[in-house]
Structure 1
Amino acid sequence: MSEFMEKHATSKLIGAPPGYVGFEEAGQLTEQIRRRPYSVILFDEIEKAHPDVFNIMLQILDDGRLTDAKGRVVNFKNTIIVMTSNIGSNIIQDFANNRQSSVIGYQTQENVKSDEEQMGERINAELAKFFKPEFINRVDELIIFRALTKDQIGEIVEIQLERVAKRIKKQRQINLVFDKKSRALLAKKGYDPAFGARPLKRVVQKEILDPLAMILLAADVPPDTEIGITAHGEQIVIEPPPNIELLEKKVEQEEVK
């Protein structure tokens, strides 16, 4: 919602008032829902929006309808509205760090539940500082996403590598084989409780996709070739078959001639 930080930008949602530039254009929000009344609407990082946006949303959340700049009433009763926010993310991170530091000690289920209740109370307090009570009162459910654990990052690694392997198989008919060491190292390098799974995507791009692209550009890899990916120490190693290495050397020799 960063593009709706300014007051004048809120007109993009319902359209510009009569006499203003862009009056002929329909509102981005109202027009989409008018055409597709059964929709899921996502307001990403809602706290960045201008306060006028919240006034517009109050009518949607309360009455289930909204009048656009042309006077047309748009029905929102068949929509599901999801709003994300980073408010309280520092609190979630603090609790995640405290939980990691207490892993060695004995933690009962009651203690974990108590920590989560305290975290929820602190986040609710932060939300109350930012949003008006009438806005919070119209939100049906508040879902708090906890920081990812190392085990969960490992599961995401499996998903990411499966997607990479399927994509390469479809595009180049090449089989990628990841061993346990490579999977473990990618999970280690991609784990950052402060930033979630985003660093993992960059690690996969840097450690797997970029070097693999260089190999595929440097050699004519035949279909059904199997390329192994392993780890030596802190380094991801892509191991093409011996015939691919010979082909690369042959290309280099021809360039020298």
Structure 2
Amino acid sequence: MHEGQPRADIGVFGGSGFYTLAADAETWEAETPWGPPSAPVTIARVGETRVAFLPRHGADHRYPPHRVNYRANVDAMRQLGVRALIAPFAAGSLRPEIRPGEFVVCDQLIDRTWGRPSTFYESFEDGPVHIPFAEPYDPRLRRVLLEAAGETGVTAHDGGTVVVINGPRFSTRAESRAHRESGWHVVNMTQSPEAPLAMEAGIPFAGIALVTDYDAGLDEDPGVAPVTDAAVLAVFEANLHKVRELLYAAVPKLAAISGPAGT
């Protein structure tokens, strides 16, 4: 922490269509060894809790998923001292029972991205560092999000695997079918390297998917059209109030968390 630098208790990354959290907020221009983050960080009080918000794609969605500066974004949250990092994200459903407008509080992740810097370690000058990543999502944060979903009346599925594709294109029908046949639940373009970087930074992390579509369609229902940008943004914007309500309900519970799982 630098002298005069602001602090925050909870960090939130905004996804597609989610560019601000609160109107009454201070702004902090972060500097990191990996360059600037996607946008200035805004810090607002939710009750007694200071919440830092950063739209991962930039305030005007200028950065496609493969060009987001994930290292700078996570490091900015680390500099603020956040004790929990929540990452709402738009996702396509791979299962008919997971419907658009619903949430999935994911517990597992499959990384199918490439070419993205996915670690803070450019060398092992002080010896090798291989983080354990068997549980990419902090179980305590997941419980808090599920409790908050229940309190706000949001339909949230407990657990699910997100497969992260490189983008910015969507899946082919064959790719989507392969994801579904592998047993995965939702598809997204940003959860990796966010999750492993948060783990390296020592920040408990949770990703919550807002389902916006059925990816490339459903074999069970030929009438379901493949996803489009317009459809994703329309569903996300229509349900953004649910994301905010869930986060505001979760913040007081998250504020009680102090340190990574197992401590």
Query: Into which bin does the TM-score normalised by the smaller protein fall?
Result: under 0.3
TM-score normalised per structure 2: 0.21
TM-score normalised per structure 1: 0.21
- Higher RCO by CA contacts (8 Å cutoff, separation 6 or greater): 2
The structure with more strand, counted as a fraction of residues: 2
The structure with more helix, counted as a fraction of residues: 1
